[in-house]
Amino acid sequence: MRTKIAIVSAVTAIPLALSACGSSGDSAAADGTKSIGFISQAPRNDGGFTQFGLAGVNAAIEADKNLKLSSIVDNAANSQEQIQGLESLATKNQIVVADGASFNKAVAVVAPKYPKVRFILVAADLDAYAENVTSVTAAVGYNAIVVGAVASAHSRTKKLGMIAGLEVPSTTAWYHGMVQGAALENPNTKVVETYTGDFNDVGKAKQAAEAMIASGVDSILSDLDSGSRGVYQAAGGATSPTDVYDVFALHCDSSPHIIGSGVVSWSDILKNAVADAAADTLPAGAISYGLGTGALRFEFCPGKGTPEEKALVEKITKDITDGKIVADKGVLLPKPAYHFEQR
């Protein structure tokens, strides 16, 4: 599960209606206020990635009285809904946040029609440079290397698993990172992957986890939102000890089987990006946040992790930030051909 946070503020949803190009509210209001539109594939209160990103937007607004969140489109699941939602938001806002990797194609279609609107694409890059688009990603593969090493050290069967909703670059990065990290700790450790097709389906997640456990997997990384509850349930019902690792945030109270998490503070990343966009200092192109920024890190749940495992976390993290460990193929998102900044 990606995070559990309280809803920061209430906003009004807008209908998914196609709006005419050229009518964009692309300049600040007379009082200097800049409005922000937010669009996501999942529900805004999904208890996970979407809610985490929305919290970052709200944090930027709380820090700047000249910003306001005017509208949200959530549950934009297919390409038509995403394009229509982006069109509708771009007519009313100076900044539009597209929260999720699946929006890269829709943003590429809509952004050129609204050259004065700043689009922030989260967790994916565009295929080509756009002057009014900045993609912000987290180098989650680095976190996954640490998770893989820890999980391998803690595993009894040396069989690890990763469960995610959709097979997109940001989720496969968790898998490839786990493979690399596990091999660093023990070259004989195996890692398997499963994609349920839904980040929030508890039943599918439980079935996937049960299948893994039946095959001998004793440590599972859950790259899910509310669907993680299914993984916790499967671990709780297993006849043999099964460990769980979360992504993005710690959920130690959710299950006694959780060892730790590859924490990614999307809230901090979005707060930073929105604040820079409001100040007109956000560069176009792509920005990736890594372990050196503090936005990514591995954390154990209280009372979990041996001294040796904690020392392993420190060593792997330091070796990555010092450049001694270079990411294998698939661990990081491919660098775009245009302006790219690794932070």
Q: What is the CATH number of the domain that holds 220?
A: 3.40.50.2300
Structural domain boundaries enclosing 195: 140-264+294-334
Report if residue 182 sits inside a domain. Answer: yes
Q: Are residues 86 and 226 in the same domain?
A: no
If we measure between CA atoms, which residue out of 15, 9, 108, 102 comes closest to residue 51? Answer: 9
User: What integer pLDDT is reported at residue 294 of this predicted model?
Assistant: 81
Q: Are residues 152 and 174 in the same domain?
A: yes
Q: Are residues 182 and 325 in the same domain?
A: yes
Structure tokens at 107: 């943003």
Q: Are residues 203 and 232 in the same domain?
A: yes
Report if residue 7 sits inside a domain. Answer: no
Q: Are residues 80 and 114 in the same domain?
A: yes
Look at the chain and report how many structural domains it folds into: 2
Q: Are residues 94 and 148 in the same domain?
A: no
Rounded to whole angstroms, the Cα distance separating 293 from 277 reads 19
Report if residue 74 sits inside a domain. Answer: yes
Report if residue 134 sits inside a domain. Answer: yes
Alpha-helix residue ranges (DSSP H) falling in 155-265: 169-185, 202-214, 228-237
Q: Are residues 101 and 241 in the same domain?
A: no
User: What integer pLDDT is reported at residue 9 of this predicted model?
Assistant: 33
User: What integer pLDDT is reported at residue 8 of this predicted model?
Assistant: 32
Q: Are residues 322 and 276 in the same domain?
A: no
Report if residue 172 sits inside a domain. Answer: yes
User: What integer pLDDT is reported at residue 333 of this predicted model?
Assistant: 82
User: What integer pLDDT is reported at residue 1 of this predicted model?
Assistant: 43
Q: Are residues 328 and 202 in the same domain?
A: yes
Q: Per-residue confidence of the chain (343 residues) as pLDDT tens digits?
A: 444 333 333 333 443 333 334 445 545 666 789 999 999 998 998 877 899 899 999 999 999 999 999 999 999 989 999 999 999 999 999 999 999 989 999 999 999 999 999 999 999 899 999 999 999 999 999 999 999 999 999 999 999 999 999 998 889 999 999 999 999 999 999 999 999 999 999 999 999 999 999 999 999 999 998 999 999 999 999 999 999 999 988 999 999 999 999 999 999 999 999 999 999 999 999 999 999 888 899 999 999 999 999 999 999 999 999 999 999 999 998 899 999 998 8
Q: Are residues 226 and 209 in the same domain?
A: yes
Containing 79, the helix (H) or strand (E) segment is: helix 79-90
Q: Are residues 312 and 197 in the same domain?
A: yes
